[in-house]
């Protein structure tokens, strides 16, 4: 039984066969999916998917790449969505992405991140944090909101950074990268972090694990990530699945 804590089934790459894939993954043991908004359409589509499918839940948030649109009016609109829909379980994905030059400036990204952290605090919801090449500033803002927790998704930091996040009550999102041959640091992170802090995720359609690396990802491919965790931790498949499932349910109040 797998719960995918981070997916984008609203993505256009699923337009041709979304229904089929969502049926397939359920047949292959996926019992839950948290679909994360990244832009405004993504937020609305995530809510629609959650309304249509029992096993899908929604997170609402604006990704750093699109964060110029974050303002007070939008936060009020998000509040309205939340009050009208009990399948919205988190604010995300939000955060900082300094990798792409064409992204909004660091200042704009930080401002949008803070506004959405504030919203999470107000609604008492967990956050789904996207951090790419911005560990220091991400941690700084996380520390400003000590009463907010969540998951650092597609974790790409060091063991030390992971430990800092855990200390602050955060979970570590582990996906396809763990299966990549050259991914050494994330294997260290999984080794060092307790199982009760790990969430499984795809970030599909992106980040497909080996042997599907480079292809479109889907939630049942998490099985390859589970295998890698079994190997690193020396525990059974059932333990990996059960513990991560409990972690997901606890964090998102499902």
- What residues make contact with Zn ion under the rule CB under 5 A? 203
The residue with its CB nearest to Zn ion is 203
Q: Which helix H or strand E contains 120, and what residues bound it?
A: helix 106-123
Q: Residue 37's closest CA among 166, 153, 172, 177? A: 153
Peptide bond into 93 cis (omega under 30): yes
- In the complex with Zn ion, the residue whose CB is nearer, 104 or 173, is 173
Distance, in Å, from the CA atom of 179 to the CA atom of 209, rounded to the nearest integer, reads 6
Shortest distance (Å) from residue 7 CB to Zn ion: 8
For Cα atoms 180, 58, 115, give the angle at the middle one, nearest 5 degrees: 90
Distance, in Å, from the CA atom of 77 to the CA atom of 40, rounded to the nearest integer, reads 11
Question: What Å distances lie between residue 45 and 37, 38, 94, CA to CA?
Answer: 8, 10, 17
CA end-to-end distance (rounded Å), the chain: 15
215 within 8 A of 202, measured Cβ to Cβ: no
- In the complex with Zn ion, the residue whose CB is nearer, 100 or 237, is 100
SS3 content of the chain, % helix, strand, coil (to 5): 50, 20, 30
Shortest distance (Å) from residue 95 CB to Zn ion: 10
- In the complex with Zn ion, the residue whose CB is nearer, 142 or 207, is 207
Alpha helices in 145-236 (DSSP H): 159-167, 185-192, 222-233
């Amino acid at each position: 039984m797998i719960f995918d804590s981070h997916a984008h089934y609203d993505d256009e790459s699923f337009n041709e066969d979304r229904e089929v894939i969502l049926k397939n993954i359920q047949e292959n043991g996926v019992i839950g999916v948290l679909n994360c908004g990244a832009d405004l359409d993504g937020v609305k589509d995530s809510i629609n998917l959650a309304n249509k499918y029992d096993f899908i839940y929604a997170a609402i948030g604006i990704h750093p790449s699109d964060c110029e649109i974050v303002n007070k009016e939008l936060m009020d609109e998000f509040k309205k969505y939340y009050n009208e829909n009990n399948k919205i379980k988190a604010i995300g994905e939000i955060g900082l992405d300094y990798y792409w030059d064409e992204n909004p400036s660091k200042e704009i990204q930080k401002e949008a991140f803070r506004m959405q952290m504030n919203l999470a605090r107000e609604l008492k919801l967990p956050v789904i944090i996207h951090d790419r090449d911005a560990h220091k500033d991400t941690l700084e803002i996380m520390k400003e909101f000590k009463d907010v927790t969540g998951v650092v998704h597609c974790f790409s930091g060091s063991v030390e950074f992971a430990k800092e996040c855990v200390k602050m009550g955060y979970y570590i999102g582990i996906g396809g990268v763990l299966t990549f041959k050259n991914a050494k640091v994330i294997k260290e992170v999984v080794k060092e972090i307790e199982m009760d802090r790990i969430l499984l995720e795809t970030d599909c359609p992106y980040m497909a694990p080996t042997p599907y690396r480079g292809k479109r990802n889907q939630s049942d491919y998490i099985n390859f990530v589970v295998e890698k965790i079994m190997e690193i931790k020396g525990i059974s498949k059932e333990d990996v699945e059960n513990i991560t499932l409990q972690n997901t349910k606890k964090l998102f109040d499902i």
